[in-house]
Structure 1
Amino acid sequence: MNAEVNIREITAAVVRSQGAPFTIEQARLRAPQGDEVLVRVVATGLCHTDLIVRDQYYPVPLPAVLGHEGAGVVEALGPNVKDLKVGDHVVLTYGACGHCHHCDSGHGAYCKDFFGLNFGGSDLQGNTAITDPAGAPLHDHFFAQSSFASYALSRENNAVKVPADAPLELLGPLGCGIQTGAGAVINSLKVGPGSSFVSLGAGAVGLSAVLAARVAGATTIIAVDVVASRLELATELGATHVINSGEQDIVETVRAICGGADFALESTGRPEVLAQGIEALGSLGSIGVVGAPKLGTKAEFDVNNLLLGGRSIRGIVEGDSVPQVFIPQLVQLYQQGRFPFDKLVKFYPLDQINQAAEDSTKGLTLKAVLRMPQ
């Protein structure tokens, strides 16, 4: 068979050098192999991780097609696909091998090959699936999808089927950012009824955590940020208290509200905020860390405060979720009106990706979602 038959022309946003703007380019994508599925991407969320990879906080090789919160429709199947079918609506999530100890125990976000599968710029054998029109490879397999493109390849185990009656163009962020914030609260920290919870940062991840804390039954929900409009939205979404950390001391204010929090989540990636969050915990309190700074960033805290209060710090990846279970649950909560994450979203066409990135960096947009050309 002529190999050209298995090549699809796509439109993609490409990062060619550190900190450079995304460029919209024509490219070529091979057909699905093995357990891969070809997805016609409808819309993809823009995540903080896309931007820190663009800026090379994480050493993903460039040039690359990024994007890791894709949602779309399955158009073709590799020969080893078992359950998905052409026409299925899917949300694309993170890559995991599916067979190591952590994957087998339901903790795919801690897969032994997690960094290679999600940040390696190729498959584990060093092969890419996307080339430019001249045949030069573009690094891809970003979060096992590279969905800043009109079409993407995903493995079956990170393409999660969702109901056909759900608004597909809205659902992509459930694959990473929204899943991370909500899962940290529900799966990792296990926030429960009557508890107190502090979201350190009221971006998309932090506000997803606020929404989840409300679903989980927390009765004191505190949102912390420096942007007044974000704090106003936090109140609308269920926060019982807000703290503008540019005007108020986080630790003193949290202690005045609840005597010290049962749970907290740090989503800013700022080590000084993490230190304040630890201090704001009550005895036996737990803080989750999801904010991603540059590799090698150090944080300081009082060891005795941690020790004597029985406090704990927990690193969290992708909300400790099993995506095939958790993402459909979030969709159902949204459809019931109990998880209105749509209030975080602003849509942009793919060719406005640099504007979306700028608006996100400035805090003007909480969760940018890029509509793909059809």
Structure 2
Amino acid sequence: MTTSTAIVTTAPEGTFEIRDITLKEMRSDEIVVRMVATGVCHTDFSCANGTIPVPSPIILGHEGAGVVECVGPDVYHVQVGDHVVLSFPACGAELWGSIVIYGVGSVGLAGVMSAAKLTPAARIVAVDVSEEKLQAASKLGATHVINSSEQDVVKAVRDLTNGNGSDCAFDTTGNGKVIEAMIAASTNTAKVASVGSSPIGHFVNIEVASWIGRGISYSGACQGSAVPRVTVPHVAPDPASRAIHFAEHSMNGNHSSAGFSELFQDPSKVVDEYKIPDVPLGSSRNVKAIYIGMGMSGIDFAYHAGKVPNLEVQLYEKNDAPGGTWLENQYPGCACDVPIATYQYRWALKPDWDHYYAYQPDILKYLQDVAEEHDLTRFCKFKHQVTSAEWLEDKGKWRVAVMEDNDPSKIRYDEAEFLINGSGILNSWKWPDIAGRKEFKGDMVHSARWDKNVDLKGKRIAVIGIGSSAIQVVPSVLEQSEKLYVFARSKTWITPGYASKYAGPDDSDELKKRWRNDSTDYLRYVKSIELDLSGIWKMFLKEGSANAEATEFARHIMENKLNHRKDLIEGLVPTEFPFGCRRPTPGTGFLEALANPKTTLLKGGIKAFDATG
């Protein structure tokens, strides 16, 4: 039996002690080395604290140097008295014309540095999404860098290698898509390896025929997979000219506990002055979230996020009040086209709406009342518009530019760990690009910026388009008009209101009173409507019988409401696509308005305006 002295820990307590140990009998293919020095790193630390599950007790130091004292009969490369370096085994070393390293964090940068010092590679290419890391790679020996967020990696690598692809490549990310790109960017007979670990169950898609046909060798590299007897002599025959500087700290083994403490807490002992924080897993920290807009979703965010501990919430709203689209859109007939019972907050139910499909003024009042009742406006700066945002990699934060009072000279900046864009996609309105539009001498209004000062009574009115807004505007202005012209460039499916079977007359005062006193009963009513709405999805499956039935039903409804007028049916009812290819638009009163003698439907686009229209 052979005895030795070692630093031993019993995971997961993480305490260290110097202890005498007894080694197993040496096998015929093993050697006994008297250790002169050993290294400890984060792998040892992770084993000691239980992060890496290994049986205990654990002998620390999986890499080191010493002198051979005994050699087994099946060992041919060393003899007693040799000075040796110990590490994990691997496949060996080769010379390549190009090396590409995917991901240049600490492991990738070590690879760049090693490649630059140890191989005569013509090209050492670093690939990453971080400019800061790519700059570090250039300083440590990378001859070329590729920002994969800005370039096609496969094309960029092949361009750098005269179209051939890389001879050798290493992935340190563990990301399947990156590994697939690495193989695609490699030359025939290339050797590629994965160094970065992936979660269990993570897979890579590789075309077997292409892989085999190209003769590419793909392997996993455990702990860097260095072969000491091959790589160490290559590294250190001439320390003066070929030494690689690594940060190091040495101490007597009797002080191992203190040594670990210094290694992982003293920034002077760690590369790039990085300090591993002494913060337990799951600890909270103060962070900030910026939300753009205070419409319906912004109010909901403020309500929930405002209750999260350690979270600072800041909303920026370009308008002078909350409401979002319901504040900006105030055209005639503006309303919600789904039952209002399903278009409200679960935490602020309103059982006494005036209409089943609520109109814009009622919805806006509801939103603003909710914001005021719950004091949510305290999180928001109004008349503040976010104009740009950029991610600060070094800080791990978003930096946003905010314009105050719509004044470009008043720009301020704010930073936060989280940025949520709730500004919507339909509020950047514009006038149609039609020749001569500005020559028109009459009043011209846009549904997204309705001018309430315009008097429509007794006027000839033209409505351009038959989208959702037009479908609500047309029946609302028909009575005021002398003559109404509706321009329809394309056809669309127009249906009765969603879940209309629950509509009927507006809810009675008695029913509203009951719901105010019994929220459970009201919630049951709301859920019944939502269940009805959720059940219509089958009619949107193109090949299903439900879609064919829905198409015929919608066609029948439209033809009836258009009084079976052939000119209106041909101009409005779709024949090229079935129901559901575009969102069906509920349009109470719209089809009837088109069939009114005062209305003329004009099919096709508008070529130009003149002074009279």
Question: What TM-score, normalized by structure 2, do the two folds share?
Answer: 0.34
User: Quick one: distance in 2 between partners of 1:227 and 1:352?
Assistant: 33
Report the residue type matching 2:218 in the other structure. R
Query: 1: CA distance between counterparts of 2:45 and 2:199?
Result: 12
Tell me the secondary structure at the aligned position of residue 347 of structure 1. coil
Residue 208 (structure 2) pairs with residue 341 (structure 1):
no
Task: Give the Cα–Cα distance (whole angstroms) in 2 for the partners of residues 357 and 32 of structure 1.
Answer: 32
Instruction: Assess, with a 3 A threshold, how the Cα gap between structure 1 residues 354 and 215 changes in structure 2: closer, same or farther.
Output: same
2:80 maps to 1:84: yes
Q: What is the aligned partner in structure 2 of residue 278 from structure 1?
A: 183
Q: Which of 39, 44, 63 matches 2:39?
A: 44
- Matched residue pairs, number? 257
2:188 touches 2:216 (CA, 8 Å); kept in 1? no
**CA-to-aligned-CA distance 1:20-51 (integer Å, 9 cap, x gap):** 6x432232223785465353442415265x56
Larger radius of gyration between Structure 1 and Structure 2: 2
- Sort the Cα spacing of 1:72 and 1:270 in 2 relative to 1 into closer, same or farther, 3 A: farther
Give distance in 1, aligned partners of 2:49 and 2:179.
23
CA distance in 2, matches of 1:243, 1:227: 10
C-alpha contact (below 8 Å) 2:4/2:23 kept by paired residues: yes
**Structure 2 Cα separation of the partners of residues 56 and 299 of structure 1:** 29
Q: Distance in 2 between matches of 1:196 and 1:54?
A: 39
1:290 corresponds to 2:282: no
Deviation at 1:200, TM superposition (A): 1.7
Shift of the 239–209 alpha-carbon distance from structure 1 to 2, 3 Å rule, reads: closer
Inter-partner Cα distance in structure 2 for 1:300 and 1:53:
32
- Pairing partner for 1:251 from 114, 129, 154: 154
Identify the residue that residue 218 of structure 2 maps to in structure 1: 314
Superposition map of 1:114-125 within 5 A: none
Instruction: Extract unaligned runs of 5+ from structure 1.
Output: 95-107, 110-179, 369-374
CA distance in 2: counterparts of 1:329 and 1:223, whole angstroms: 23
Is the 8 Å Cα contact of residues 243 and 253 (structure 1) preserved in structure 2? yes
What RMSD over aligned residues (CA atoms) do the two structures have, in Å? 4.5
Alignment-mate amino acid for residue 62 of structure 1: S
Partner in structure 2 of residue 71 of structure 1: 65
1:331 aligns with 2:236: yes
What residue identity is the alignment partner of 1:84? Answer: V
SS at match of 2:174: coil
**Could you say which residue in structure 2 is the equivalent of 1:157?**
none
2:21 to 1, 15, 29: 29
Deviation at 1:198, TM superposition (A): 0.3
Task: After superposition, give the CA deviation of every residue in 1:322-348 in whole Å (9 maximum; x if it has no partner).
Answer: 53343223221x52523x432x43436
Pairing partner for 1:300 from 201, 205, 228: 205
* Equivalent of 1:242 in 131, 145, 161: 145
Please tell me the residue identity of whatever aligns with 1:235: S
Query: How far 1:227 sits from its partner (Å)?
Result: 5.9
User: Aligned letter for 1:315?
Assistant: S
Residues 287 and 314, structure 1, Cα contact 8 Å, conserved in 2: yes
Looking at structure 1, the residues matched to 259 and 83 of structure 2 have their Cα atoms a distance apart, in angstroms, of 25
Q: In the alignment, what sits opposite 2:103?
A: 201
SS at match of 1:84: coil
Secondary structure of residue in 2 paired with 1:337: helix
Aligned-residue identity in percent: 28
Change over 3 Å in CA distance of 1:52–1:268 after alignment to 2: farther
Q: What SS class does the counterpart of residue 254 from structure 1 fall into?
A: helix
Q: Do 1:199 and 1:210's aligned partners in 2 also have CA atoms closer than 8 Å?
A: no
Counterpart of 1:345, as a letter, is A
TM-fit CA distance, 1:240: 0.6
SS of the residue corresponding to residue 353 of structure 1 reads helix
Structure 1 distance, partners of 2:56, 2:113, is 35
Q: CA deviation at 1:363?
A: 8.4
